[in-house]
Amino acid sequence: SQEGKHSDQSLVFADLTPEEMVQVVRYLQRSLGVPLVDAYNANPSDNCIYYVDVQIPTKAKVLGFLDRGGRRPPRQALAVVYFGNQPDPNVTEYVVGPLPKPTTHQDITVQKYGGKLPYHRRPVLGKEYEQIEIFLRRETFSAAPTFLNRVFDCNGTNFVSLTSAPRGFQSGDRSTWFALFHNVSGYFLHPVGLEVLVDHSSLNVSQWRVRKVFYNGQYYKDLVQLESEFQQGRVKVNPVTRAPPDGGFSSMQPRAPPRAPFPLQYEPHGPRYSVQNNQVISQAWNFAFGVNVNTGIRLFDIRFKGERIVYEISVQDAISVYGSNCPGGMSTRYMDGSFGIGRFMYPLVRGVDCPYSATYVDTHYLVETETPETHKNSICIFEQNSGSPLRRHYSNLQSLYYGGLTNSALVLRSIATLGNYDYVWDFIFYQNGAIEAKVQATGYMTSSFLYGDGLDYGNRVGDHTLGTVHTHSINYKVDLDVGGVNNTVVAHDMAFESVQAPWSPEHQIQRPRLTKAVLDTEDKAAFRLHSNMPRYIYFAANSENKWGHQRGYRIQIVSFTGEHLPETSLMERAISWGRYKLAVTKRKEEEPTSSSIYNQNDPWTPTVAFADFINNETIVNEDLVAWITTGFLHIPHAEDIPNTVTVGNGVSIFLRPYNYYDIDPSIYSPDGVFFTSE
């Protein structure tokens, strides 16, 4: 019953099909002229394909096609290749095309990043983690048999390790603290107190070394020393009893049997939206969706009643900065985009993750493999009736009437599991033309082993478990195009003025008055995380509504962010988007993202430093992008066990019409209700 018809225009934003991925891999194997190992099995000293994803055409080309009848831009892929088997190991990014039968590839690395990508910046492959795990078991733990046996009743094989990141203190470092946990369900909550600093910077795995060992508050040169001191009775031990396989307190097994089922939603005449390929259409909305391997969900060409409001809205990165008195914990500043938010969008469970009746869409990835992988049902689309009114008024003053409209909204959701955490990414489309981008955090916290002054860094949540304080910060790119590409940022707010009452000048009135400002430069439109910001900030069009006001879309942020990493930190520039709750920049094809997957392992020489985007350019009547940071401070507590709950841990961006229309467009909704006594 949706208004519009599907078209294949949205395909210009479409993710690669598995067939396209296969073609790109075959082309690269054929054309790069060097041996390529499957990344699944690749050593650091091999060449391999890290991932292949779609290369979206430039905005100019896309708009030429969509808006000006230009030709459809050719389909292209982005292929990221690790060259470990070279005199000058590096990561190279290629644009490969045209699809489906590629004939050319172009090295865009230097053009995109201003230089080559040193090999040490590369994200750690699953294979590398596996090799570290083997290194720990075979070469490291074997040095401390008595210690492991007496303290943990094991030889290390029932440990699982959790990586920290970044991995050192300066460019080129690749030394990672691995904290060890009992390998049970929800192991993130079962630290055993042992952490090992592994230097895995060498491309020759046999050169990897343990640089330091931490146990229960003390540091040791290596496990040999720990074993020796243990045998001399000089190690203060704090043994952890074996957890049951289901994890005990960390188990997600319900502790109560099912009873009467919870309320369910049904659609009396079926869905009122439609999904075809990567396009969603409903009565008022249509948009294209896709998944970036690294950053996750992104939407393009969002239109309300046919008019484009947003060219692109996409997740850019999610970071967490941890405190702890254990080395892994205190080192941890995860940049989830580097691990890959998109590639970890897993199947959604009907009735829990999304409504039963939702439409489920599969996604396809080619990451660390040579064959595409499908994640079934990893995006869901549904209409959700909130059970409350979008608007209503009950009149019994002069006349008796009632008007109202149910708040039933269209939702696109994915959930990415980044190791321990699960991020629920929602994009919600309301009947009044508002869009909400919402993220909720759930899943497991990570934890540190509790000892000493641990309670300065969090709450105790288990016998030996310290829930460590950390931030969650999420950055979105919002390329609003309000009434066309060229926009200006305008701020409205209120201030009190003291005036004489015109009818009684001996009396003062404290009166709210509008304040209005055009934020005409990038510097003026960059708002520090905890600075004051005008309460209404909107992207204004060149056109006016019926009442003579610049048509606009307002940005409203719901956020509970913690403190941003101090700029004195040598790695801060790598996450400098986190300085700002909102920064508006002139859109540039060369500034497509606020972060980079290469920032995590070399934050000291950031491949992308968002702060550099803000160079005080004039942003009047230009194509503008809003970069928005939202998040929350997380001090884990007992109720984060077994999982963090979404309630109170959700943050949002609203994009709301502000004089964009002449009247609330929901008045044209077919769901409106009105009755009167007459």
Q: Which is nearer to Ca ion, 436 or 481 (CB)?
A: 481
Q: Is 542 within 8 Å of 486 (Cβ atoms)? A: yes
| Count of residues in the chain | 678
Q: At what angle do helices 223-231 and 145-152 cross, to 10 degrees?
A: 70
Task: State the burial class of residue 435 (Cβ atoms within 10 Å of its Cβ: 0-12, 13-18, 19+).
Answer: buried
Shortest Cβ 501–its own copies spacing (Å):
7
Among the options 215, 421, 553, 580, which is catalytic?
421
Q: Is the bond into 166 cis (omega within 30 degrees of 0)?
A: yes
Site string for Ca ion, 596-625 (x = CB under 5 A): -----------------x-x-x-----xx-
User: Residue 191 binds which one of Cu ion, its own copies, Ca ion, none, with CB within 5 to 8 A depending on kind?
Assistant: none
Kindly state the tokens that stand for 621.
Answer: 């009547």
The answer to whether residues 292 and 12 touch, using CB atoms and an 8 Å cutoff, is no
Phi-psi region of 636 (alpha: psi -120 to 50; beta: other; left: phi over 0): beta
Give the residue, chosen from 227, 317, 436, 479, that forms a contact with Ca ion under the rule CB under 5 A.
479
The interface with Ca ion within residues 572-591 (CB under 5 A) comprises 585
Half-sphere exposure of 58 (CA within 13 A, CB side): 8
Q: How far is the CB of 432 from its own copies (least distance, A)?
A: 5
Smallest distance, Å, CB 394 to its own copies?
Answer: 5
* Residues in 253-312 at the binding interface with Ca ion, rule: CB under 5 A: none
Q: How far is the CB of 311 from its own copies (least distance, A)?
A: 22
From the list 222, 301, 317, 336, the catalytic residue is 336
Instruction: Tell me the closest approach of the beta carbon of residue 637 to its own copies, in angstroms.
Output: 5
Please report how close the Cβ of residue 295 comes to its own copies at its closest, in angstroms: 19
Is residue 324 within 8 Å of 162, Cβ to Cβ? Answer: no
Nearest distance in Å: CB 268, its own copies = 5
Contact partner, 433, from Cu ion, its own copies, Ca ion, none, Cβ < 5-8 Å per class: its own copies
Beta bridge partners of 286: 281, 303
Is 573 in a helix, a strand, or coil? Answer: helix
Q: How far is CA 150 from CA 224, 241, 343, in A?
A: 15, 11, 41
Least Cβ distance, residue 7 to its own copies (angstroms) = 22
Residue 403 interface partner, choices its own copies, Cu ion, Ca ion, none, CB cut-off 5-8 Å depending on type: its own copies
Cα Rg of the chain, angstroms: 27
Peptide bond into 534 cis (omega under 30): no
Reply yes or no on whether 421 is catalytic. Answer: yes
Looking at beta carbons only, is 573 or 634 nearer to Cu ion?
Answer: 634
Residue numbers at the binding site for Cu ion (CB under 5 A): 634
Closer residue to Cu ion in complex, CB, 377/473: 473
Number of residues that bind Ca ion (CB under 5 A): 8
Q: Which two tokens stand for residue 612?
A: 């550099």
Cross-strand partners of 208: none
Q: If contact means CB under 5 to 8 A according to the sort of partner, which of Ca ion, Cu ion, its own copies, none does residue 481 touch?
A: Ca ion
Q: Is 463 a catalytic residue?
A: no
With beta carbons less than 8 A apart as the criterion, state whether 92 and 69 touch.
Answer: no
In the list its own copies, Cu ion, Ca ion, none, the entry touching 479 (Cβ below 5 to 8 angstroms by class) is Ca ion
Q: Return left, alpha or beta for 277; rule: phi > 0 is left, psi -120 to 50 is alpha, else beta.
A: left
Helix ranges restricted to H, 32-157: 59-68, 109-113, 126-134, 145-152
**Residue-wise DSSP of 443-459:** EPPPEEE--GGGGGSEE
Please say which residue, 86 or 515, places its beta carbon nearer to its own copies.
Answer: 515
Q: Which residue number, 390 or 626, has a Cβ lying nearer to Cu ion?
A: 390
Which CB sits closer to Ca ion, 10 or 585? 585
* CA atoms within 13 Å, Cβ hemisphere of 342: 27
CB under 8 A, 24+ apart: contacts of 126-131: 126/40, 126/368, 127/39, 127/40, 127/41, 127/42, 127/43, 127/368, 128/44, 128/200, 129/163, 131/43, 131/200, 131/205, 131/208
505 CA to centre of own chain: 57
Q: Output 90 or 646, the one with its CB closest to its own copies.
A: 646
From the list its own copies, Ca ion, Cu ion, none, pick the one residue 442 interacts with, judged by a Cβ distance below 5 to 8 Å according to partner type: its own copies
CB of 121 vs Ca ion, minimal distance in Å: 24
Q: What Cα–Cα distance (Å) separates residue 26 from each residue in 23, 386, 414?
A: 5, 48, 30
Q: Which amino acid is at 548?
A: G
Residue 659 contact among Cu ion, Ca ion, its own copies, none, beta carbon within 5 to 8 Å by kind = its own copies
By a kind-dependent CB cut-off of 5 to 8 A, residue 615 interacts, out of Ca ion, Cu ion, its own copies, none, with Ca ion
If contact means CB under 5 to 8 A according to the sort of partner, which of Ca ion, Cu ion, its own copies, none does residue 231 touch? none
Q: Closer to Ca ion at the Cβ: 574 or 624?
A: 624
CA distance 659 to 206: 65
Q: Does 370 bind Ca ion (CB under 5 A)?
A: no
Q: Which does 71 bind (CB under 5 to 8 A by kind): Ca ion, its own copies, Cu ion, none?
A: none
Q: Residue 10 or residue 320: which is nearer to its own copies going by CB?
A: 320
Q: Which does 155 bind (CB under 5 to 8 A by kind): Cu ion, its own copies, Ca ion, none?
A: none
> Could you tell me which stretch among 477-485, 495-503, 506-514, 564-572 binds Ca ion (CB under 5 A)?
477-485
Verify binding: residue 481, Ca ion, rule CB under 5 A: yes
Cβ nearer to Ca ion, comparing 144 with 313: 313
Strand ranges in 121-254 using DSSP code E only, listed in sequence order? 159-163, 175-182, 191-199, 209-215, 218-220
Query: In the chain, what is the greatest distance between 2 CA atoms, to the nearest angstrom?
Result: 94
Nearest to Ca ion of 60, 499 (CB atom): 60
**Footprint on this chain of Ca ion (rule: CB under 5 A):** 479, 481, 585, 613, 615, 617, 623-624
Catalytic residue positions, numbered: 336, 421
